[in-house]
Amino acid sequence: MLTDVDGVLVGQWTNGEARTGCTVVVLPEGSIASGEVRGGAPATREFALLSPENLIQFVDAIVLSGGSAFGLAAADGVANALADDGRGHRTRHGSVPIVVGMSLYDLGVGDPTARPTAENGRQAYVGAQPGPFEVGVVGAGTGATTDKWSGEALGIGGLGTATVRSGALVVSALIAVNAFGRLDDGTSTSDPGPPVRPAVSENTTIGVIVTNAIADKTSCYLMAQSGHDGMARALRPAHTLADGDALVASATQQVEADGLHLRLLAQDAVTLAIRSLAAA
């Protein structure tokens, strides 16, 4: 799981009755990150600064949340809590925490008026731990569903995680799967046919890839790209106009690594994280 990477903390807030929640990933200081959106209906915060050509290199935390665009508010609570702890980008007038947010649409499965708030984000941050954490129908995955494409009964989505290793190199992914398509365990080859349900923006698969590798911002961007390739292997289809699929990749700067190797491992970690839900 994501906390297999030294220094990474994960905390969650879950509202099981309203079927929503948020998941906070706190990165070690000095972690570099970038990311990419490939879906057509994203709900994101601070994604522009992740572009390799932009100034900011380091990210303090990443927030995955339900609640659609409303759920991005959870990142405000995390940013304020980080500031209280002295974390953030140093400016002449104080530190500004860099918190990237991604939200998925879960308003149709529970109480659409109950969405993760800034206080809920703070609660998840305060509870973040370095050890094992719960996966499945929890945190940002609480109201996640899949297989809207087929028009059948909704499949269960959720929060999946997986880690791949190569010697001292560790690459791990944490994915909240709320896809328009269905989970693909690698055996599906048939044409799913045209979508039965309308292709509305009520989906989205979002996630985080973290490695202990020494990597610059461009390498993190390329890892995020490869993570999307892994997503496309595990969801059928992925990256539709009805999905806001987005991934952030971060490197904690601990172990030397080859960039092409990192991309391969990132792809595998995302695929395995998503398919862990099919195996559950």
CATH architecture of 5-279: 4-Layer Sandwich (3.60)
Kindly list the domain boundaries of the chain, sorted by start residue: 5-279
Residue 20: φ, ψ to 5°:
-155, 170
Instruction: Please tell me the distance from the alpha carbon of residue 2 to that of residue 209, in angstroms, as a whole number.
Output: 8
pLDDT per residue as tens digits for the range 108-167: 898 999 999 999 999 999 999 999 999 999 999 999 999 888 876 578 899 999 999 999
pLDDT per residue as tens digits for the range 154-186: 788 999 999 999 999 999 999 999 999 989 888
Burial of 11 (C-beta count, 10 Å sphere; 0-12/13-18/19+): buried
* pTM as predicted: 0.95
Q: Decide if 217 contacts 240 (C-beta within 8 A).
A: no
